[in-house]
Structure 1
Amino acid sequence: MNGTTGHTGGTENVTNIESAGSVKRAESAANPGGGGRADGVVVVGAGPTGLLLAGDLAAAGVPVTLVEKRAHGISNLSRAMVVHARTLEQLDARGLADELVAKGEPLSTLRFFGRVSFDLTDLPSRFPHVLVLPQYEVERTLERRAVEAGVRFAYETEVVGLGQDADGVTLDVRGPGGTPGGLRAAYAVGADGLRSGVRQGIGLPFPGRSVIRSLVLADVRFTEPPESLLALNGVGDAFAVVVPFADGYYRVVGWNRAHDVPDSAPLDLDEVKEIVRAALGRDFGMHDARWMSRFHSDERQAPAYRVGRVFLAGDAAHVHSPAGGQGMNTGLQDAANLGWKLIAVLGGRAPDGLLDTYQTERHPVGRQVLRSSGGLIRLAMAKHVWTRAARAAVVALVGHVPALRAEVVGRVTGIGIAYRAPKGAHRLTGRRVPDVALKEGRLHEVLRAGEFVLVAPGGEQPPTGRAVPAHWSSGRRTTVLVRPDGYVAWAADDAAAGEVAAALRTWGAA
């Protein structure tokens, strides 16, 4: 296979990556990629999940090749349109959030079924809103970062087989023009979507089913925009969601029980108008559709996110209904969780067993998202009198019980997600750390180094090892070791120097 290498972050169609990311001629199909010790990571899939992960790895000096089946170029047509607060916090820790917020439409109120509104202005985050922003804008920003960090891209390249041994992973690929080749790396990550070639290569099933058929999408203009800027309503035989973009267009997602047709069936603006009128009472003078599409939605989750040296992330690991706008966000959180762990293990600072925590932490989150988004879509699809009555009761309960409202908002925005802590650990262990003010600046600014951050009481100078030292701006006495993904690895009240040093060694930050 012919290919090009040269400037850092360039396009690479050569498909045999060996030690230290060097490029070699592809070997025969009988032994693609060869064997022996391998370094670096191959990430498959250049969507948001793959781009964030590859950028994190390359920024830390890990050789990365990002394989993408499509030709180079990011489509301006995408289904994902919402960036939640916790994802914006992760992007802020990479210096990207403010740029994206400026391009999107922040919304502080969500309204469901005409009965309950969620006010996000008191969300304990620097981003007390939902950001409406097309997926392609997120991808463009993450791709630029990945290129600048030195990620090597292999476009028009598809994984067609996979094998692994004690020293690395070998991927059989088909490049431009169908040319066969091979990739060799220490680890591989499949972020290649619903029909993941990586998941198939490791023989994992993807159990689940289609939860709803014939959803329609349209980006349109309105003559008379709705008063509620993000609204969802269902009336038994139809539901619709209307979301504004910053450029004057609105994204409409709708469904009509009576028109259950294949994804390939034609779609016109009159059908979209009919659905919106049925669900929301009027069509708002809808006109000038720039894009329309029909699709179905599955609920599926892989039983394992790790098999040996191969990992799954994003839609390759879990897919679910679009309700709540959690798909892209969950994938980006997968990437943030896995990236620093691969960096620590490849750098010899942590044992391979650290990578098992990716499964134990992220698989339950994926299962939770399937349940919450599935529950919301089923509420929207409620048909019979008794199921609509049950929906009204649920909505009323959430609307009147503050603790339930906070729970719902925490799950949907990601702010309330925490990882299970070991028995006997400090109460903060596994929890997200807000963007607290430190003497050295905001926490998310300090996290931009990509390292652990050790936050200690003011005036104390405990051992920090590789961790970035920081201090509370308040009189707090708790010492907290913050992971690169912004969760608490370890904490102690009035910690002794020996305790801190032991925690640093345990987490590979000594």
Structure 2
Amino acid sequence: MSGPTTVPETARVIVVGSGPTGLLLAGDLAAAGVPVTVLEKRPHGISNLSRAFVLHARALEQLDARALADDLEALGNPLTRLNLFDGLTLDLGTLPSRFRHVLVIPQYEVEKVLERRAVEAGAEFRHESEVTGLSQDADGVTVRVKGAGGAGGAEELRAAYVVGADGMRSAVRTAVGLPFPGRSAIRSVVLADVLLDEKPESLITAGAVGDAFAFLAPFGDGYHRVICWHRGCDVPDHEPVGLDEVREITREALGRDFGMHDARWMSRFHSDERQAPRYRVGRVFLAGDAAHVHTPAGGQGMNTGLQDAANLSWKLAAVLHGRADSALLDTYQSERHPVGRSVLRSSGAIVRLAMAKGWQLPVRSVLMAALARLAPVRARITGQVTGVGYRYRASRGAHPLAGARVPDLALAGGGRLYEALRGGRFVLVTPDAHGPEGYDAGEGRADRLAVVRRSGGRGTTLLVRPDGYAAWAAEDARAADIESALAAHVG
């Protein structure tokens, strides 16, 4: 494979925020030869105070396409079944994915591998650099930064595009004047990192009884993260948390407190359900929690942000390299905004069902019993929670596979599709027996296109985008058909 071609320094992208979303985006851009600067207002360091604890199958597939999934799999703990409530269980062992499980792993471990990749690819990091405003014109964006490099001064940075991955209180979103409509869904959620005298029976323990809800997950270093909430406790976030409060809510929700002791950290927060109406304003984009926030039910937050980044990064690279018109960037909104809206709805439904009380409980039991008998409905719920069930809208008359997520495919001569995607390129998958003999991608495309043959395939030829979705597909495709598709999508 040829190395990535670079674009001029004036085509720099500024990514604001160094959480998982910003780190994956920065690593992708740097690997594609795009100059990228990451601005982070916190001092350098990976915090263990993160709330995310699971990687779902689709996020793992995206990380696999970046040669990172196996390292994380070695650090985390797989869970093949998700137990919800009233006996409803999602069996992940049937997922159409290499990753037939959810991986229990703290967010900070994900951030470590993503940061290492971004640094090795050449991304520039500026910590203790707070964005105070921005303005944009036809040629680029000027970002105002306070305390850049810890110097305490102020300066202006210029970029072709800016991506706000700076969380719920996004300075970038505020600077472009976008509202963040929604509401507080759960108030006074309590977090604590504790040691346990009694080991829980399951890797993840969650339950709700009456007005109380509790969730336990391991860090891997002996400590467990406890997330709990009581409907009757509605106090400001700044109110102190005591271990007795954590124990009491956990006992009410789970029947026991597992002998928790020696809390190394405790805090309180509220969980909102909000979504920006637009993810793009001119040359400025929003991703991750800056674009959408929702309840932690289903563990979809970090996962959705990672997929936002995977969708946007290759499009920015294609435009900056001059291989695609800037109109391609509009598809980030049309593809990712509906997914964010769906995640808000599904996570909200899970938490409302979990916290049912009174007359709602028998209704929930009847509903869960019905869902348990309906395999297609369970499969749809599983696809939404794990991310493998989403697809993007294709143009009218397109092949049924266009816009669909492409699962990992075995390739002729060995290897897998997601290994072929590791170059950040489009991948043309031709059938082993039916593809056009001797088809060549042509000179000048090697840095952005790989051509492979599927092992034991049918007559379908697939053009797979760098983010693992089908850009185009055809049955018994001729070389002329393929060349037309490549010209339209790859350049």
TM-score range, shorter chain: over 0.9
Residue of structure 2 equivalent to 1:431: 404
User: 3-state DSSP class of the match of 1:325?
Assistant: coil
Aligned match of 1:443 in 409, 417, 441?
Answer: 417
After TM superposition, the runs of 4+ consecutive aligned structure 1 residues lying more than 4 A away are none
Can you give the 5+ residue segments of structure 1 that lack an aligned partner in the other structure? 1-18, 22-37
Q: Could you tell me the percent identity over the aligned residues?
A: 66
2:219 is equivalent to residue 231 of structure 1: no
With 124-133 and 327-336 compared, the bigger mean Cα shift is at 124-133
**Could you say what secondary structure the match of 1:143 adopts?**
helix
* Counterpart mapping for 1:409-420 below 5 A: 409-420=382-393
Whole-angstrom CA distance in 2 between matches of 1:262 and 1:391? 31
Equivalent pair of 2:86/2:368 in contact (CA under 8 Å)? no
Q: 1:470 aligns with which of 452, 455, 461?
A: 452
Name which of 465, 481, 484 aligns with 2:466: 484
Asked whether 1:59 is paired with 2:31, we answer yes
Contact kept, 8 Å, 2:427 with 2:450, in 1: the verdict is yes
Structure 2 spans left out of the alignment, 5+ residues: 1-6
Q: Distance in 2 between matches of 1:222 and 1:20?
A: 54
Partner in structure 2 of residue 46 of structure 1: 18
Give, in whole Å, the separation in 1 of the partners of 2:440 and 2:484: 10
| RMSD value, Cα | 1.4
Pairs within 5 Å for 1:190-209? 190-209=164-183
2:144 counterpart of 1:162 = no
Query: Using the alignment, how far apart are the partners of 1:308 and 1:477 within structure 2?
Result: 41
* Corresponding letter in the other structure for 2:388: I
Distance in 2 (CA, whole Å) between partners of 1:461 and 1:422 is 30
Q: How does 1:359-374 map to 2 (within 5 A)?
A: 359-374=333-348
Offset, 1:261 = 1.4
Q: Aligned AA for 1:438?
A: L
Q: Which letter does structure 2 place at the counterpart of 1:493?
A: E
Cα distance in structure 2, aligned partners of 1:45 and 1:126: 30
| Residue number in structure 1 paired with 2:109 | 137
Distance in 2, Cα, partners of 1:501 & 1:338: 25
Note the 1:24-43 alignment, pairs <5 A.
38-43=10-15
Decide which of 271, 278, 299 is 1:325's aligned counterpart: 299
Q: Which residue of 1 aligns with 2:92?
A: 120
SS in 2 for 1:228: coil
TM-fit CA distance, 1:117: 1.9
Larger displacement relative to structure 2 (188-197 or 237-246): 237-246
SS in structure 1 opposite 2:93? coil
Please tell me whether the aligned partners of residues 288 and 302 of structure 2 are also in contact (alpha carbons under 8 angstroms): yes
**Paired residues of 1:111 and 1:228 also in contact (CA < 8 A):** no
For the residue of structure 2 that corresponds to 1:77, the secondary structure is coil
Q: 1:221 to 1:121 in 2, by over 3 A?
A: farther
State yes or no: 1:394 paired with 2:382: no
The equivalent residue for 1:69 is 41
Q: What is the TM-score when the length of structure 2 is the normalising length?
A: 0.94
How high is the TM-score relative to the length of structure 1? Answer: 0.90
Q: Secondary structure at the match of 2:94?
A: coil
**How far 1:49 moved relative to its partner?**
0.5
Secondary structure in 2 matching 1:485:
coil
Q: 1:139-174: per-residue Cα shift (whole Å, max 9, x none)?
A: 111111010000011111111111111111111111
Distance in 2 of aligned mates of 1:114 and 1:249: 29
> Which residue does the alignment assign to 1:96?
68
Residue deviations 1:98-145 (CA, integer Å, cap 9, x gap)? 101111111112212252222212212111111111111111111110
Given candidates 146, 152, 159, the residue that maps to 1:185 is 159
Q: Deviations over 1:297-328 (max 9, x none)?
A: 01110000011111000011001111111111
| Selected match of 1:493 from 456, 462, 475 | 475
Q: Secondary structure at the match of 1:441?
A: coil
Please show how residues 449-460 of structure 1 align to structure 2 within 5 Å: 449-458=423-432, 460=437
CA contact (8 A) 2:86 2:365 kept: no
1:83/1:133 contact within 8 Å kept = yes
Are residue 244 (structure 1) and residue 221 (structure 2) matched?
no
- 1:504 is aligned to 486
* SS of aligned partner of 1:163: strand
Partner of 2:3: none
Structure 2 residue matching 1:399: 3-state secondary structure: helix
* Mapped contact 1:236–1:388 kept (Cα < 8 A): no
Name the SS of the counterpart of 1:224 in structure 2. coil
1:171 and 2:125 are equivalent in the alignment: no
Q: In structure 2, what is the Cα distance between the partners aligned to 1:236 and 1:295?
A: 21
Compared CA separation, residues 473 and 488, structure 1 to 2 (3 A): same
Number of aligned pairs?
Answer: 474
